[in-house]
Structure 1
Amino acid sequence: MITVEVQPPSQVQAGAVLYPPLVVSSESNDAYDFIQIALIDPYGRVLEDQLYGTLTMSGRGLDDRSSSRSSSRTTEYFVFPDLVVSYAGTYSLQVSAIRMDYGSPDGAAAVIAESTMTTQIIAYDQSVAAEIPSSDEQHLLRRLRRNGGFGVPRAPR
């Protein structure tokens, strides 16, 4: 099962990097090959060429001794540190967990195993106040940043 651990900001300036970054998790036994992000308008349409940055990401386990999870249940994290919405408007992000089907008669095929939506994002033409992640989100972002390799950006100043 995929879970949105850190939601994108509710307001953003069009053309600016989303902060806090989107962070998704899944249990490692779900064995997704990658997570893919798409921008969705209020009518449920996928908007191509309006969302930029890292749109596809493979998961990584978090090697963190402070984690309260048991070692038999490893969690993989997918961090999208540089997403940019190009135009003003109201959107959501669709988060899709993809598995590759190598047994397909037509060759390898990507199969959406699971999908979920983020909270709403309103993009404006002018600058907006930076959004502060919740304390749980801040804690997770610090853990991911401290353990390196996740590419978690620092809050804009």
Structure 2
Amino acid sequence: MQTENAPRYGLPDVVTHQSVFEAVCEHLIRQGRPSIVLDDECLYRGPDRTACAGGCLISDHLYKQEMEGQRMNERFIAAYLPEAGHVAPMILSLQRVHDSQDLWLDGGEAFDLRELRAELRSVGTQYGLILPGILADEAPVPA
């Protein structure tokens, strides 16, 4: 059973570069930390309902424990997120941001939000997207 404040996972209703980018950015900023286990292995679904950049796009009814350990790549996206195939390269870029240990603080207990935002802005700029306000360095973290 999902509580009112629990994250809602899945693709946006309309799958565009902009909508997926905004959904992943909001998710990662709100979550504030990577989705990992103690050995620094990234997880599609981690402790305390955390999710990685690609994992937050997989709805709960599609998620399977067997996905863990599978590499996020275009084949994975084609299998589990076929509606997002046209934005797969951007999803992979966002996943690389999540997985970058250079952005982790305290062994993965938190993201360096200033650096995370900078990396996400870089991805958005690369794809010619409108950068959402949540990526401004001074923006508050949504509750």
Q: Same fold (TM over 0.5)?
A: no
Q: Select the structure that is richer in strand.
A: 1
Q: Select the structure that is richer in helix.
A: 2
Report which of the two structures shows the higher radius of gyration computed on alpha carbons: 1
